Amino acid sequence: MSTEPYEELSSFGSLVRVSNSTAPTSVPPTPTPTSPRKTASSSKSPTRPNPTKKKEALRSSLEKQKDDDSVKEEGVFFWVNKSGFPIDDITWKRMWDHVAKIHPDGYSVVNKIRDNADLDEVPVPQPPLNLPNSMSCQDKLNAVQNYMRELQYNHTGTQFFEIRKNRPISGLMESAREMIRESLPIKCLEAVILGIHLTNGMPGLERFPLSFKTSFSGTVHRHVVLGVCHNGKYGTIGMSRREELMYKPLKFKSLSGLVFDYEDSYNKYLHEVKKVKLGLPVPHDSHSYEQISWKYLSLNCQQLSRTEMNKELEKHAREVRSMMKSATGPLYTGKKTAGHGSNSTNSATMNSNATSQKKEESSVKDKIIVHDKEKMDDGYEDPCNASESKKLDPAYQIRI
């Protein structure tokens, strides 16, 4: 086992091993009199390096590696812009170096673009904001997807917008607004956040993350899209290099039908689907401090048959519909895994939570009715003041 504790990524994406030694392990032997390289000062002891400076250099290297701007998951490598906008010189140079590394023409294509002062002006697409209520939900989703297509897929190898999945929804929506302001190409994870922002407020539309883990030629790939459901029909929006892996219209009558269609699309491109992960519906409140549930249900496609997957997916769909009808607070954010032994405790906990929420809602309604009746018995008839009194009622505030 190697004793070197870390690796540092160079600006060209190659891994550079950094030694952890801070001083020589032993004093070099004194040269013998017959040594041809003997000098007048050779009899003196060699100068030992300053251990304090070595420790500081090691500490700074570790901190640099900790704050590294790269993402590498089982062979899939890309850079992430953490400097914000405008992009700093280091990130900008690193992006072009990476382009030269992955492009067949190397630096020639980089110089051809960077040295050209007469490049065509890139049009800025208009985001589909404030869509009329007369539009159908499918037409609104088409407008959102077309806007993403106009932004184009990011092939540079550098993700321009940093997306941390553990951030609250309010922070992620700020990142979505930044995507609209900058109008730069995006990748699949950025498209999910942008899709959530552009579909906020669409009545009757539920959104949930849908992730895939696939394998192609021994390399593992990960992809995520935004699943949508309206009037019992399922579909997706998102971004990918392949049209079949990003957009699905609202035509699937079941959640399993949507997932199996993605699996067939992956098989078309010789990808083997290993896992499918589904999150819970995302709230429509753009100022919410909740976190997105990215993988509430995890299905191992290599251990489950399609019949078993269909059973798990339809069970999940029923549970989500039940939660959406009964839940008055944040959704349950536990995790379920199928293919490694199904966990029935989560389902029981979720059902008990839904039952307690129903009882609490019923008791709150009774309190509000009694409160209003007492006001009427006391001769209180001003409707404006009655509305204000209900706003001040703690039970009423709990209900809303």
Q: Are 265 and 271 in contact (CB under 8 A)?
A: no
Q: Tell me how far CA of residue 356 lies from CA of 349, 360, 384, in angstroms.
A: 11, 6, 33
Catalytic residue among 98, 137, 197, 223: 223
Q: Are 6 and 91 in contact (CB under 8 A)?
A: no
- 98 vs 113: CA distance, rounded Å: 15
- 357 vs 193: CA distance, rounded Å: 30
Nearest to 153 by CA among 123, 102, 189: 189
Catalytic residue among 240, 342, 347, 389: 240
Catalytic residue among 188, 197, 265, 293: 188
Q: Are 303 and 249 in contact (CB under 8 A)?
A: no
Give the three-class secondary structure for 297: strand
Backbone angles phi and psi of 229, in degrees to 5? -140, 130
Six-digit token string for 53: 């400076």
How crowded is residue 99: how many other Cβ atoms within 10 Å of its Cβ? 19
- 323 vs 160: CA distance, rounded Å: 36
Percent composition of the chain: helix, strand, coil (DSSP 3-state, to 5): 40, 15, 40
What is the CA angle 127-239-85, rounded to 5? Answer: 60
Would residue 137 show up in a list of annotated catalytic residues for this protein? no
* Residue found by looking up tokens 């960077």 in the block: 114
Would residue 26 show up in a list of annotated catalytic residues for this protein? no
Would residue 284 show up in a list of annotated catalytic residues for this protein? no
User: The dihedral of CA 86, 89, 90, 96: what is its sign?
Assistant: positive
Q: What is the DSSP string of 226-254?
A: EEEEETTEEEEE---SSGGGT-EEEEESS
Q: Are 246 and 240 in contact (CB under 8 A)?
A: yes
* Residue found by looking up tokens 């909740």 in the block: 290
* Kind plus residue range of the DSSP H or E element containing 391: helix 383-392
Q: Which residues are catalytic?
A: 188, 223, 240
